Structure 1
Amino acid sequence: MEDELEDRVLYQTYLSFIKILSRFTSSVPFDTPVSYLWKMVRLYFLRSEVLVFTLGVVIFLMYLQTIELWSRTLLSRLSQAMNPMSVQRMKFLESSEADKQSWELKGTLSAAYAIKGRRMHMEDRFIINEDINSTGISLFAIFDGHGGEFAANYAKDHLIQNLFNKIIELNAFKDGKTISTPIKESPEEPKPKDHENSISVERKTSFKKSASTADDTSKKEITDPDLLAQISKSKIITREVRPSKPVINVSIPLSSYLDKGKINFGKLLTDEVLAADRLLVEAAKRSMNVAGTTALIAIMEGNHLIVANVGDSRGVMCDSRGNAIPVSFDHKPQQVREQKRIEAAGGYIAFNGVWRVAGILATSRAMGDYPLKDKKFVIADPDILTFNLDDHKPMFLVLASDGLWDTFSNEEAVKFIKERLDEPDYGAKSLTLQAYYRGSVDNITVLVINFLQNRISSAAISQ
């Protein structure tokens, strides 16, 4: 009896609950959009036959996709089997494309390695010229282009060739000799008679192939859409080509570059960089080319090192104690000296990811960049630093584009190379690739000059 009474109580409670719930639900209007949509979904889409049909369609589509992939694989294998030459050609094209990702150059005492990295185009250029024409003078350079390859190519071809010729002329002049005909020899292609002084070249592809000259700028216009867009937005920068006086090449007497019987490389580098920049700007204006480039040039004669820097490529030397000695300093818009100069010219700097001149260029000095050069917001005047190597007894020197310095400090780069100086390229390749692995998004070029190798060679000769 007690059990039956309990069941009845529970049953009555249940009925009371249902009645209360029904009254509550009956008071809620079912003509709202949400309730109507739910009703349609429940009546038409959640039915068992609809669900089964939808599942069948999904399985059928997956089956078709699998069949398509399988058929493509089969056809490609059949074509390879029927035409093996096409496979070899495809592999050749793949290897050629891979070859364009890196460049390397090996000298007797120096080596360079460069990669395109995560950029669409390679705009870095580098030069290794050891013992120019048996003068005992060596020339090294790195050019980091921006806005296109035109400016870097121009500097590599024209500035370096002019320096090459002037060094030979000055070396002969100080010894009382004269050179009647201009030197046409290319710095990278020594004459056969100087084979013993030539450097062994081992490159994935030649920078020379992509070189542009002032004569064909009207045929090949290299511009950067992003840079052009920024220039168009700027209120004070335009791409208008203003009439300018023709550039007159002033012949500077060779004697002005001699100081107590020695070549004044600082004056030579300054004059040649500024002269090349004037010609570059005029050539760029003719083709409306806004490209520019940094320039880091090092000249070695005996125990003297002379470094000229324009922009934010950088050089660092490792002394006998393993300390990092800067041989150049970056030209950045936020530096007090540079900011004052830019503002005095009527310009400004703005933060756009990094500090930029007029919100456009991340370096305050460069060759080219004619829209900014016309306003004198950007200049090409190089900073010259001279070092007596006997004071530092260096182990090696590293010259690199800012693609390296975006991920490495001077001290880190010196430590890294010091541990790999016994590699065939003196650690240049390892350092370049390590900068890429660390996340550098720029082109990366590293040039290493091994002074220890020079000492070993000199010791062997004396013995």
Structure 2
Amino acid sequence: MSPPRPPSPPTHRCAAREGRSGGGGLAGALLRRMARAAGLRALVGIEAAGRGRRVAASPSPGGTPAASRGLPGWPGFCGVGCGSSSSSSFAPPRMQARRAAGSAARTRSPSQSNGWITGGSASEDGRLSWDYSSFKGRRPSMEDRFSIKMTTINEQTVSLFGVFDGHGGSLAAEYLKEHLFENLVNHPELLRDTKLAISQTFLKTDADFLESVSSNPFRDDGSTAVTAILVGNHLYVGNVGDSRVVALKAGKAVPLSEDHKPNRKDEQKRIEDAGGIVVFDDTWRVNGLLAMSRAFGNRALKHYVKAEPDIQEKVVDESLEYLILATDGLWDVMRNEDAVSLLKAQDGPKAAAMKLTEVAHSRLTLDNITCIVLHRAGPHPSLHAPGPLRNGGSAPRFFSSRGGAGAASKGLGDDEVELYSLLLGVSIGDEGEASSRGPAASRGGRRGRNSKRQPPRSRFDGDGVGCSKDGKLSWGYSSFQGRRPSMEDRLSIKSTTVNGETVSLFGVFDGHGGPRAAEYLKKHLFKNLVKHPKFLKDTKLAINQTFLKTDADFLQSISSDRYRDDGSTAVAAILIGNRLYVANVGDSRAVALKAGKAVPLSEDHKPNKKDERKRIEDAGGIVVSDDIWRVDGILAVSRAFGNRLMKRYVKAEPNIQEKVVDEGLEYLVLATDGLWDVMRNEDAVSLLKAQDGPKAAAMKLTEVARSRLTLDNVTCIVLQFHHGKSTNSKVEY
């Protein structure tokens, strides 16, 4: 639920104040963007389509589609597992994520897109049928995998089903898909002591995977696993991580696994006894990194993140109707009871698996979605005669089994994005925020039946304007929470006199792991700086020492709270007479409009920069690629305030540039990466030129970043230099 809108601040002239007020409307712009025609490649990441190729059918001997050929002992099986691929792109990984999210927000439902893989089959006696559905969704890459295997051991039929949710890449999930069940059916005790066999196989497969990737120090993939193994009339559910199994039994939802979360009392005690810590960083995480307490892989955390499964054994009786195995892309937006209600309304496991995926997507899940639905009532109608795959594919890799053969004649480039029925049940709330009509978004209560719907508006968390006493400098700022669940950005503007010298200080601070570090900087950084004894005589030295001292003070202030590890970037502009100092820690940025061109006045501190990487590795850290480059696989910036767990190599020492303010300097923009993730320096400068004053410019920058579907908070300050010409514009909050 969105926090209540604060009252608009009072009106003042020429005073810098950090207020909050309402903003103009952006929901219309969002809907217009959703409706623009564009290809589906950014959403589904189909490798073949991305390279301009068509996928031809690959018939099996006798004319049977390859998709209907089964593994040994699997009559009618339509396919196992799914591959990970992404469309060719030269954009940075983080930009690809934004593009994928943007396409997902304005594209068709899974059932209408080419980004969906579905299929199913049944046991030979027809007593057990199953279907699966897997969809990449809004993630930039597909890291989910699944596996289905049926075999006979000593004349005993054994059926194995599993879904695997990879993180940090798809290597671990892919390894589980290929090896976990193969290892399990080869275990000598599988029939005599099934629970022991499952436990030992999980641990052995984890060790084998870590050995297989030991030569690659730059990857640290991991994966969850939830499996259902049927041996006669006994069902064994093995779980590692936060994928989940839920049964429909006697008309009710019955969970058969329990998510391994770091803040579970038993899990937290186990982790802390092993030397780890559980830290809150947007969610509870092991060592501030992993949002689950057990996983395959993750060698950097292996001492306390085990792959030892929890196992439940159940006797299969007549009351067991359905079983769902799914990754957390489903459970993040759906309660167990909701899933069971959907099952009851569907005609068989195929419709159920597809419906679960579709509803999770419509509720704006941000993760991959994979589920398997098992049904005990017998084979479903299309079981032994599956229809041809859309696009004519043989082995399904991101293709839908829905649609007729004629669909194969259409190239993916012919598909145009259509307005997706307001995202299948997504409404625009009072504040212009997208919200689902499902339970995940129902916390805010209901609108009265006769209440009047307010026009869609975009909620700005703060905007304002100010100017210097002599009128030679004016500024505007804009701050917007956007699509993040909380607001972690802060800004500070201070104007003072030091020994008769006018000093103006501007800063934006982008918090991560919580807002405490950014809030501390807002309150203390500039206060400490102007008190530095060498502030006027050696400003660069004063800035450097103040940044380091403020960082140390912040860490001391939170030393008693070991469950949080907040951090923050900072970019600051300090004006003393005609000298401008820009100091930067992290990936917030300062860009000037000078002589009509964009001039960067800071350089982002990224872990893969050669000098930063060398510094980190010399200090004992590692730089790992996990969708983007991260310090120790955790932090996407190489310098920051706070972050005590990595303080040895994530410093708060700023880079400082000194410039003389001359006639060529027109504007200066300070902004958090919520802006720069979706906007080049040149784009920002072009927008500045078209606006009437700094407040209009700040509002426009924020608005455009929002319309480009940035996923982060957005905060910016725009300074305008008047060079001796007093501004006559009326300055108001």
Same fold (TM over 0.5): yes
Paired position in structure 1 for 2:557: 283
**Higher percent of residues as strand:** 2
Which blocks of at least 5 consecutive residues in structure 2 are unaligned?
A: 1-123, 127-376, 382-445, 468-473
Say yes or no: does 1:111 pair with 2:381: no
Quick one: percent identity of the two aligned structures? 37
After TM superposition, the structure 1 = structure 2 runs for residues 125-204 of structure 1, keeping only pairs within 5 Å, are: 125-132=490-497, 135-166=501-532
Do the aligned residues in 1 keep the contact of 2:507 with 2:571 (CA within 8 Å)? yes
Which blocks of at least 5 consecutive residues in structure 1 are unaligned?
A: 1-31, 42-72, 81-86, 167-253
Do the aligned residues in 2 keep the contact of 1:113 with 1:429 (CA within 8 Å)? yes
Match of 2:717 among 437, 447, 451: 447
For 1:299, the aligned partner's letter is I
After TM superposition, the structure 1 = structure 2 runs for residues 59-458 of structure 1, keeping only pairs within 5 Å, are: 76-77=449-450, 101-108=460-467, 109-132=474-497, 135-166=501-532, 254=533, 257=534, 262-288=536-562, 289-320=564-595, 322-373=596-647, 376-390=648-662, 393-420=664-691, 422-423=692-693, 425-452=695-722, 454-457=723-726
Deviation at 1:264, TM superposition (A): 1.8
For 2:489, the aligned partner's letter is D
Could you tell me how far apart the structure 2 residues matched to 1:341 and 1:74 are?
Answer: 55
Could you tell me how far apart the structure 1 residues matched to 2:447 and 2:569 are?
Answer: 52
Question: Higher relative contact order at CA 8 Å, sep ≥6: structure 1 or structure 2?
Answer: 1
Could you tell me how far apart the structure 2 residues matched to 1:301 and 1:267 are?
Answer: 15
Return closer, same or farther for 1:297/1:379 CA change in 2, 3 Å cut-off. same
Do the aligned residues in 2 keep the contact of 1:285 with 1:370 (CA within 8 Å)? no
Could you tell me how far apart the structure 1 residues matched to 2:448 and 2:591 are?
Answer: 56
Deviation at 1:147, TM superposition (A): 0.3
Q: Deviations over 1:281-326 (max 9, x none)?
A: 1222211220000011111122110011111000011112x11111
Deviation at 1:135, TM superposition (A): 3.6
Q: Secondary structure at the match of 1:273?
A: helix
Could you tell me how far apart the structure 1 residues matched to 2:481 and 2:466 are?
Answer: 21
Which of structures 1 and 2 has the bigger CA Rg? Answer: 1
Deviation at 1:360, TM superposition (A): 0.4
Return closer, same or farther for 1:361/1:33 CA change in 2, 3 Å cut-off. closer
Deviation at 1:436, TM superposition (A): 1.1
Instruction: Give the structure-1-normalised TM-score.
Output: 0.56
Q: Secondary structure at the match of 1:127?
A: strand
Do the aligned residues in 2 keep the contact of 1:426 with 1:450 (CA within 8 Å)? no
CA-atom RMSD in angstroms? 3.2
Do the aligned residues in 2 keep the contact of 1:284 with 1:368 (CA within 8 Å)? no
Equivalent pairs, count: 284
Instruction: Give the structure-2-normalised TM-score.
Output: 0.36
Could you tell me how far apart the structure 2 residues matched to 1:75 and 1:457 are?
Answer: 52
For 1:400, the aligned partner's letter is A
Could you tell me how far apart the structure 1 residues matched to 2:655 and 2:509 are?
Answer: 15
Return closer, same or farther for 1:437/1:458 CA change in 2, 3 Å cut-off. closer
Paired position in structure 2 for 1:5: none
Could you tell me how far apart the structure 2 residues matched to 1:74 and 1:450 are?
Answer: 43
Could you tell me how far apart the structure 2 residues matched to 1:74 and 1:433 are?
Answer: 27
Paired position in structure 2 for 1:53: none
Return closer, same or farther for 1:424/1:389 CA change in 2, 3 Å cut-off. closer
Could you tell me how far apart the structure 2 residues matched to 1:149 and 1:381 are?
Answer: 20
Could you tell me how far apart the structure 1 residues matched to 2:548 and 2:459 are?
Answer: 32
Q: Secondary structure at the match of 2:712?
A: coil
Could you tell me how far apart the structure 1 residues matched to 2:721 and 2:506 are?
Answer: 14
Deviation at 1:346, TM superposition (A): 1.3
Return closer, same or farther for 1:129/1:353 CA change in 2, 3 Å cut-off. same
For 1:314, the aligned partner's letter is R
